[in-house]
Structure 1
């Protein structure tokens, strides 16, 4: 079932009202031109899923992974094509390597994880409009077809018949709420708290719950959580889109022992080269806040031959050569309307939301020049 709303309702704050005011008054274009004169920063947009927004009462997966609807995504790409300079991430790397400045209003489109709606919905729109993009995939999920672990955990919490949520790994033992809305809230708390434990402990906890709750029955995973496959990715790459690494298992790289960290980075690189052929090596750290990468992760990523890496810390990149292994991105959320999105691109520092302070400081990521 699909919700009749194109995007979820959200309380309108001063940033959104300001953006809509500038949009309705026709001020965004002159403001954009004025900003481009003095601020030549790189904007990188981060998406996950593009699909019709389902009814939360019936959709059994994480709503927060839905970035926008197909109709709104097409409008967003048209805006970028008409008013900005869409670039491939590998072209950004080439400019940095050559010591060249990026053009004003440079925008890069990126997708994380590798859900199959990226192929079914996103790819045809990008191909039609001629807009480049980079898709960061977790190669182990492409190999196996298994759902992504965090989304699968939300799914299990929403559907389990268990009366309690017992997570000794997180120090949680709570009655299981009856309503779908309350279960979504609880799942969000679990996702946030589990990111403080090791990646291997996260994986073991999710596997324990899957076994304990007997999910899925017969190991038949629903179509709603399906990743892309290598055949689809080859087609996308042949059409000019870029494919990058999001690790093998979508584990938080900073939460891994050194040996497992190297295996995640090097094995994902090898899978990309084996399945898709020679290509620029680009990385997006799974989860992507400063909890998910550190100096050691950057060092391994660089040694594996990756040329750039993206975080999920919010912001633009005034000097991308300085943080080429910790590039900031602007997350696109499903509740952004047309005016809000246009204002976010034109005035990202004013309209965009900053990453919370406890997630934004990455001292280890500063000396990132190649």
Structure 2
């Protein structure tokens, strides 16, 4: 009944907003595309008409002061910091007057380098190597010819990488860049992050930014000193570039394996107000876990009917595809 009455806080999770590409031509990770520009405009118009869109800081202020949230509260969030957030999402949000919170990996904004997971997919799709050899993952596979088969292989690699530590992940990616001569330093515009000038322009227009770590590393896999660097250095960089403000965290990857109590404690001790997971669900004000907030992932094949139903009845709706990007709150390991 609670979902029908819309009393739970719904936090929408987006990554990229781009025209939906042809999978046989597109050379990057399709799973990161949340919707098309037209679809995004339709979705934002819908929540503007039927819900109460808020920034995450507005939610934190309500919690801190003991105020009730609106019964139809919705927060729009973005992870990573791709430059289509600036070129596509920002103009639509500003035109419609919908607030949003953008979680960025500050190291990628600093360097302009692509995200390692996206670049890994790109390399597997582009390489002429006859085999994929990753002994750290127990993989020695012939490189398939078809684009769909290569995407499936890349998905297998990404899933297995989540079980390794962050240093191993980085070393594997850099080794493949060298062996296959596909350096990320010369990445095409299709996979580039925003610049700090773009971030500052959005911030000046009233859009808030939070941390997605420094290098988008899975925080639970890091030793304590590197975990603290990812959390605290990203905080310090955001404050240096944007000035002092209430800050929030989105755990990179964000599933059940991506954060634990140690990560939560480090995030809280660094002064972050709220933190988002990538576990599917809504948030009741009665048992609000401010350092493990559930979100509803928006996927590229989700039409407006499915989008509306997900917001109205999130506990009853699944996703129209079995994408790898989300985990579900019903998993018994999701009680952070």
TM-score normalised by length of structure 2 = 0.95
Partners of 2:289 and 2:74 in 1: how far apart? 16
Gaps of 5+ in 1: 1-30, 366-370
Relative to 1, partners in 2 of residues 1:347 and 1:358: Cα closer, same or farther, differing over 3 Å? closer
Moved over 2 A (4+): 319-322, 352-360
| Alignment match, 2:323 | none
The counterpart of 1:328, out of the listed 261, 283, 294, is 294
Alignment counterpart, residue 4 of structure 2, candidates 22, 25, 35: 35
Q: 1:80 aligns with which of 16, 35, 47?
A: 47
Q: Deviations over 1:225-279 (max 9, x none)?
A: 0100000000000111110000000000000000000000000000000011111
Q: How many residues align?
A: 330
**Cα displacement (A) at 1:359:** 5.8
User: How does 1:347-366 map onto structure 2 within 5 Å?
Assistant: 347-353=313-319, 355-356=327-328, 361-363=333-335, 365=336
Q: By how many angstroms is 1:319 displaced?
A: 2.6
How has the CA–CA distance of structure 1 residues 313 and 152 changed in structure 2, closer, same or farther, with 3 Å as cutoff? same
Q: How far does residue 99 in structure 1 lie from its aligned partner after superposition? A: 1.6
Preserved CA contact (<8 Å) 1:96 1:321: no
Does structure 2 conserve the Cα–Cα contact (< 8 Å) formed by 1:165 and 1:176? yes
Counting only pairs closer than 5 Å after superposition, residues 128-147 of structure 1 correspond to structure 2 as 128-147=95-114
Q: Deviations over 1:148-188 (max 9, x none)?
A: 01001000000011000000010000100001110000000
After TM superposition, the structure 1 = structure 2 runs for residues 200-211 of structure 1, keeping only pairs within 5 Å, are: 200-211=167-178
CA drift of 1:321 comes to 5.9
Look up the match of 1:301: 267
Q: Secondary structure at the match of 2:209?
A: strand
- Aligned CA RMSD, in angstroms, stands at 1.7
95, 105, 113: which one aligns with 2:62 = 95
Distance 2:244 2:327 in 1: 35
Displacement after TM superposition at 1:320 (Å): 6.9
Please point out which of 176, 181, 184 is paired with 2:151: 184
Check whether the contact 2:81–2:105 (CA below 8 A) recurs between aligned residues: yes
| Aligned equivalents of 2:282, 2:332: Cα separation in 1 | 13
What is the match of residue 189 of structure 2? 223
- Rate the CA distance shift 1:321–1:302 in 2: closer, same or farther, 3 A: farther
Aligned to 2:322: none
Taking structure 1 as reference, are residues 273 and 341 closer, same or farther at Cα in structure 2, changes over 3 Å only?
same
CA offset digits 1:273-311 (Å, max 9, x no partner): 001111111100000011110000001100110000000
Q: Shift of the alpha carbon at 1:330?
A: 0.2
Alignment partner of 1:283 is 2:249: yes
**2-structure distance, mates of 1:163, 1:301:** 43
Largest Rg, 1 or 2: 1
Give the match's secondary structure for 2:327. Answer: coil
Q: What TM-score does the superposition give when structure 1 sets the normalisation length?
A: 0.86
2:179 alignment counterpart: 212
Contact 2:249 2:275 in 1 (8 A): yes
* CA gap 1:205/1:320 in 2 versus in 1, 3 angstroms: farther
Query: What is the CA deviation profile of residues 310-367 of structure 1, one whole-angstrom value per residue up to 9, with x for unaligned ones?
Result: 000000001376310000000000000111111111111111358357966244x2xx
